């Protein structure tokens, strides 16, 4: 059973860069069937898709964040990463990692997810 | 404001059925069977409940069902139980990115 776990700092200062890691266990990240995603939830608000990466390192980013994000992958460590730069208080959120895959009619299956990590941007 | 519109809250008594709507447009929900639903409990990993509008992943209770009419997808929870109290989000591929609805808080009275 594949499991995902986010890790990283709980508190970061404005203007700094957030670096998060998603560790994948119970299955290989090096599969062409999956895309590896970052999603966030601002306090009391809805979910926002940040972007994803494939094992071949192809990425797809949310245009609203594209100028500030880099998603990378290390297949030998079964991990993928999020770097989000120029942080502001508006980046305070729970950050989730999730695997996404397709069926015959849909590519919107996010499963499984990690439990999420709360990141607060504050001086 | 999300491109997918959900009611902020829905409530019901144990044993009742409730339905959560997710409204998009004729270019997304109306055009494709590319809608999934997620359950979020605080502090826990979000869980995929429905995909391709109507399909349930293995292990998800058959009390959860999905449907679509026109530009609106719906999630129905039958035989409401206390453990169903959570936030629910729909998702689809809209204008080149994955989008989630604003979320619906389900309260079991």
Per-residue confidence (pLDDT) for residue B1, from 0 to 100: 65
B21: which 2 tokens?
């709507």
The Cα–Cα gap between A63 and A76 comes to: 29
Whether the per-residue pLDDT at A113 is higher than 90: the answer is yes
Structure tokens at A71: 């998603």
pLDDT of residue A114: 97
Query: CB–CB of A98 and B93 under 8 A?
Result: no
Contact B89, B37 (CB under 8 A): yes
Which one, of B88, B90, B85, lies nearest residue B100 by Cα?
Answer: B90
Span A38-67, average pLDDT: 94
Structure confidence at residue A13 as a pLDDT band (50, 70, 90): very high
pLDDT of residue A119: 98
Dmax (CA) for chain A in angstroms is 47
- Interface contact flag, B99 A112, Cβ < 8 Å: no
Q: Does A106 touch chain B (CB under 8 A)?
A: yes
Work out the percent of chain B whose per-residue pLDDT is above 90.
Answer: 88
How many residues make up chain A in this entry? 123
Residues of A in contact with B57 (CB under 8 A): 111
Indicate the pairing of strand A47-54 with strand A59-61.
antiparallel
Q: Which residue has the higher pLDDT, A109 or A31?
A: A109
**Per-residue pLDDT at B32 exceeds 70:** yes
Confidence of residue A86 (pLDDT cuts 50, 70, 90): very high
With a cut of 90, say whether residue B90 has pLDDT above it: yes
CB contacts, 8 Å: A100 with chain B? 98
How many angstroms separate the CA atoms of B11 and B105, rounded?
A: 8
pLDDT confidence bin for B2, thresholds 50/70/90: confident
* Cβ atoms within 10 Å, residue B64: 18
Q: So what's the pLDDT on residue B100?
A: 95
Mean of per-residue pLDDT scores for chain A:
95
B9 pLDDT more than 90: yes
Give the Cβ contact number of residue A19 at 10 Å.
Answer: 15
Average pLDDT taken over every residue of chain B: 95
Task: Provide the pLDDT confidence category of residue A62 given band limits of 50, 70 and 90.
Answer: very high
Quick one: what percent of chain A has pLDDT higher than 70? Answer: 100
CA distance B44 to chain A (A): 5
> Which residues in chain A are contacts of B101 at CB distance < 8 A?
46
Which pLDDT score is estimated for B35? 94
Ranges assigned E (strand) in A2-123: 3-7, 11-12, 18-25, 34-41, 47-54, 59-61, 69-74, 79-84, 93-101, 109-113, 117-121
Residue B5 pairs in a beta bridge with B23
CB proximity list for A113: less than 8 A, separation 6 or greater: A4, A39, A96, A97, A98, B45, B46, B47
Residue among A62, A27, A58, A69 nearest A47 (CA)? A62
Q: Which residues contact A77 (CB under 8 A, 6 or more apart)?
A: A23
Residue B12: Cβ-neighbour burial (10 angstroms; 0-12, 13-18, 19+): middle
Q: Which chain B positions have a beta carbon within 8 Å of A113's beta carbon? A: 45-47
Arithmetic mean of pLDDT, A66-71: 97
pLDDT digits (tens, 9 = 90+) for B42-82: 989 999 999 999 999 999 999 999 999 999 999 999 999 99
């Amino acid at each position: 059973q594949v499991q995902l776990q986010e890790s990283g700092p709980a508190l970061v200062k404005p203007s700094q860069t957030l670096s998060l890691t998603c560790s994948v266990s119970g299955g290989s990240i090096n599969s062409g069937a999956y895309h590896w995603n970052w999603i966030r939830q601002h306090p009391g608000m809805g979910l926002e898709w940040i972007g994803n990466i494939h094992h071949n390192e192809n990425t797809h980013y949310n245009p609203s964040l594209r100028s500030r994000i880099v998603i990378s992958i290390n297949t030998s460590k079964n991990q993928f990463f999020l770097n989000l730069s120029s942080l502001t208080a508006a980046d305070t959120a729970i950050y989730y990692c999730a695997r996404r895959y397709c069926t015959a009619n849909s590519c919107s299956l996010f499963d499984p997810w990690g439990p999420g990590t709360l990141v607060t941007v504050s001086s | 404001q999300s491109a997918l519109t959900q009611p902020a809250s829905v409530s019901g008594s144990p044993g009742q059925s409730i339905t959560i709507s997710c409204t998009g447009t004729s270019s997304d929900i109306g055009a494709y069977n590319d809608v999934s639903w997620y359950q979020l409990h605080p502090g826990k990993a979000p869980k995929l409940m429905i995909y391709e509008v109507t399909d349930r992943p293995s292990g998800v209770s058959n009390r959860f069902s999905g449907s679509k009419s026109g530009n609106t997808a719906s999630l129905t929870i039958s035989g409401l139980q206390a453990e169903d109290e959570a936030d629910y989000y729909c998702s689809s591929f809209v204008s080149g990115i994955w989008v989630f609805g604003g979320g619906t808080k389900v309260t079991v009275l």
